[in-house]
């Protein structure tokens, strides 16, 4: 999963992003995004973010809720699972991915016409609106939009499934250091 995340983020190279940002700024389409992240998606006290910004953390959580869905999404909403520590670990081991991920999360959050059309920050959208944005990115005819979706999806899923707290959902024994005794336990137990 780490390799998939790295490959997906590498597709979001800096030059393509900067060309798009310059075109949007020149046409007056770049959003201001001054409001900050909603309270529900702010980092919890005590969580140290070395590579993610607080706003990037909010977008990661909001996207992970929708991409994981079901019971996993409920765990994310309740704060029982936090994708940030696993993502921070990935970024610490591969710091060259921090820039592309930060830009991808910022574009997803603020929108950047013609890449993403929306009026409010991604983390402030209702769940169906977030689903619509993600669906449009995933099925876009533009390679850059699909690359943005793949990068965010890969990192959000890595963050969720890389957490030991997701084991009740995944039911995968031994995940995130659960221990060898759990590997012998039947899944029905």
Please give the pLDDT value at position 114: 78
Is 84 a domain residue? yes
Is 139 a domain residue? yes
Segments of 35-184 assigned E as strands: none
Scored b (16 or more CB within 10 A) or e, 78-97 reads eeebbbbbbbbebbeebeeb
How many domains does the structure of the chain reveal? 1
Is 189 a domain residue? no
Residue 163 domain boundaries: 2-183
Is 188 a domain residue? no
Is 77 a domain residue? yes
Please give the pLDDT value at position 173: 60
Instruction: Provide the residue-wise pLDDT of the chain in tens; the chain has 189 residues.
Output: 667 777 776 666 656 665 665 555 544 444 444 556 788 888 988 888 999 999 999 999 999 999 998 888 999 999 899 999 999 999 999 899 999 999 999 999 998 887 788 889 999 999 999 999 999 999 999 999 999 999 999 999 999 988 888 877 777 665 444 444 444 445 454
Q: Which long-range contacts (CB under 8 A, 24 or more apart) does 92-99 make?
A: 92/50, 92/51, 94/2, 94/6, 95/51, 97/5, 97/6, 97/9, 97/10, 98/51, 99/14
User: Is residue 51 a contact partner of residue 9, using CB atoms and an 8 Å limit?
Assistant: no
Please give the pLDDT value at position 31: 47
Is 12 a domain residue? yes
Is 18 a domain residue? yes
């Amino acid at each position: 999963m780490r390799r998939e995340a790295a490959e997906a983020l590498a597709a979001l190279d800096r030059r393509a992003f900067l060309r798009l940002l310059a075109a949007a700024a020149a046409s007056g389409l770049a959003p201001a995004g001054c409001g900050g992240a909603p309270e529900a998606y702010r980092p919890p006290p005590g969580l140290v973010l070395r590579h993610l910004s607080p706003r990037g953390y909010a977008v990661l959580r909001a996207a992970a809720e929708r991409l994981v869905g079901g019971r996993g999404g409920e765990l994310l909403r309740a704060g029982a699972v936090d994708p940030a520590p696993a993502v921070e670990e990935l970024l610490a081991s591969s710091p060259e991915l921090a820039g592309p991920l930060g830009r991808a999360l910022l574009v997803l959050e603020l929108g950047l016409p013609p890449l993403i059309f929306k009026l409010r920050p991604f983390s402030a959208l209702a769940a169906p609106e977030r689903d619509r944005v993600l669906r449009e990115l995933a099925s876009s005819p533009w390679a850059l939009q699909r690359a943005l979706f793949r990068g965010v999806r890969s990192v959000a899923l890595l963050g969720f499934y890389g957490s030991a707290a997701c084991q009740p959902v995944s039911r995968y024994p031994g995940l995130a250091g659960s221990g060898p005794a759990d590997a012998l336990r039947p899944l029905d137990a």
